[in-house]
Chains A and B, each alone.
Chain A
């Protein structure tokens, strides 16, 4: 990822550094499929302003492209008549829009208080270890798993709670972790 809009002022900044807040490029222009466009058009009928459709439109984009790239932001901004900076600002405010491609299984461990009391942090660490010493947010070498930590999933009675992509999983402990991961293959 580059450090942003321009290049650092050479005589003052030294070497350019890598930024972490910019939208990654997909390397190509993107556009919705006809089906997604139809969904988008229907969305617009549900709100008095175009802007209100931004979050749902980003969901459609994520469904279409898998993640929100620089080009996806430009595309969505164009669809809704918003500035790309605004769209990226909104995208990054919310945690569920992927800012990079993720593995086939996006494993989301809740570590908030109830899951913490059930030892979620240890399970999270164990899971990353099993999948090849992954850092949080890292995707396994085979591209199948991305493991991240998330805040409360509102499944505190099923602690430690885990979400994989859009599906909820209950009581994932160190004991059943292997079986759980096996089920994802």
Chain B
């Protein structure tokens, strides 16, 4: 196994993954694991450690959520109402391990190879938030991961790191692993909450935000697996150390990147936040077979596609990818070489979204299959001249607040970016079509007029 980090870089999150028996607690303890947790527990009585101190450290580290949105983690924690406002309601911490974004597999490595790292992060976050029962929601497909985590939780209970009066600190903390049933949308935090409550994973209307009213109508913080691992390391080594990683104050810390698609050595790589895309690509052995790079999806299938030119000087952090008009998302980098059929790839992604739409909001429930049907026709040589414009028009009326959650925005990103950046390829599909000018729908000038009227909001 080649090194999964740049030369000279000392891995943090992946430090233990190649140790034999890395998931076991003995090895973790031997490597200095749970030191922060024990330190904090011991400091409760003396007043050395308070929840706000942990929160302040996380805030000072500049840690931004690793799940996709990149929201500052410490700030998110402060949204939980103080005790005098929330009354008797408990606070819940949910670790989001519903890693389902196509192209993303970083959490799986952490879960399967170093679960105690996650648990310690959850414990520390629980202390900071006043949580008495934390849950880890793992996606249904990760059967092995759930087994590893359950074993780790049992070990932690056995070692007195969880349970009643942990390490004599007077603190009670329970932790439960909850396995989903197979639904991408449950990675959305409010859908995850619904699913944990035993319901269909329908995202909720916000506000109220989970921090105010989440699972079981109680204040709830949902954090990604990698984010919580970072919390552990921040408590181990301090926020100043954490901030030494990264291009600037807004993009800090070590970061996991998932590279897949047409590269020589796909896998999870750890690097400082902000590593240039080309460096990471080189680390992964470059484009497969030495072929030319054509396109990159930088943050999981929901992120707009970028062309080879657009990624040349792009640093891989939240703001760097945003500057290129895409998003870092889950840092799932999908590389497509010159042989890639972009329309087919876009059709494939749109199939995913049509399949995974929860179905509550009209534009998404009806729009995602519509986009998929059109794209399927286009790539199968049954496209029509007006299809490309219609695809863009339909996709354009699905996002930007038209739905409860941003699933719909995610579903249209690959369609809109794919057509905008690789339109000739789509047109080539149409050219191959049997009778592209034979319009089953309204002629395109009518379509345009209708679209115009829609834009103007004129009633017929």
Contacts and interface: CB of A to CB of B under 8 A. Distances in A.
Say whether A associates with B.
Answer: yes
B336 interface: yes
Given A52-B196, A55-B178, A113-B349, A163 B141 contact: yes
A168 B144 contact: yes
A82 B198 CA distance: 10
A112 interface: yes
B141 A113 contact: no
Given A154-B99, A154-B108, A94 B182 contact: yes
Interface string A146-185: 0000111111111100010011100000000000000000
A51 B183 CA distance: 18
Which size bracket describes the interface of B in this complex? 35 or more
B183 A55 contact: no
B106 to A, nearest CB: 9
B104 A116 contact: no
A65 interface: no
Given A113-B348, A155-B108, A156-B332, A90 B199 contact: yes
Contact of A155 (B105, B259, B344): B105
Given A51-B197, A114-B261, A159-B260, A154 B183 contact: no
B23 interface: no
Contact of A51 (B184, B198, B297, B358): B198
A96 B21 CA distance: 29
B288 to A, nearest CB: 10
A16 interface: no
Nearest to A163: B141
Contact of B301 (A47, A112, A167): A112
B184 A156 contact: no
B297 A55 contact: no
Contacts of B452: none
B355 interface: yes
B142 interface: yes
Contact of B201 (A93, A166, A167): A93
Contact of B102 (A95, A114, A157): A114
Contact of B197 (A49, A59, A93, A118): A49
A55 B352 contact: no
B176 interface: yes
A35 interface: no
A49 B198 CA distance: 9
Interface in B162-191: 174, 176, 178-184
A113 B180 contact: no
Contacts of B196: 52
A48 interface: yes
B179 A59 contact: yes
A80 B344 CA distance: 45
Given A55-B180, A59-B179, A166-B143, A117 B100 contact: no
Given A59-B179, A97-B181, A53 B198 contact: yes
A54 B197 CA distance: 8
B344 to A, nearest CB: 8
B99 A56 contact: no
Which size bracket describes the interface of A in this complex? 35 or more
A143 interface: no
A55 B198 contact: yes
Nearest to B147: A166
Given A49-B216, A113-B103, A157-B105, A55 B348 contact: no
B266 A159 contact: yes
Interface in B300-355: 301, 332, 334, 336, 340, 344-345, 348-349, 352, 355
Contacts of A97: 181-182
Interface in B211-259: 216, 258-259
Interface in A37-90: 46-49, 51-56, 58-59, 80, 82, 89-90
Given A53-B198, A93-B181, A117-B334, 13 more contacts: A52-B198, A55-B179, A55-B195, A96-B140, A96-B141, A113-B297, A113-B352, A117-B340, A118-B261, A154-B108, A156-B103, A156-B266, A159-B261
22 contacts: A53-B198, A55-B178, A80-B198, A90-B199, A93-B201, A94-B183, A96-B141, A111-B348, A112-B301, A113-B297, A113-B348, A113-B352, A114-B266, A150-B141, A150-B182, A151-B102, A151-B352, A152-B104, A154-B100, A154-B107, A154-B141, A154-B142
Interface of B: 99-105, 107-108, 139-144, 174, 176, 178-184, 195-201, 216, 258-262, 266-268, 297, 301, 332, 334, 336, 340, 344-345, 348-349, 352, 355-356, 358
The 6 A-B residue pairs with the shortest CB-CB distance, nearest first, are A94-B181, A54-B198, A96-B182, A156-B260, A95-B182, A166-B143
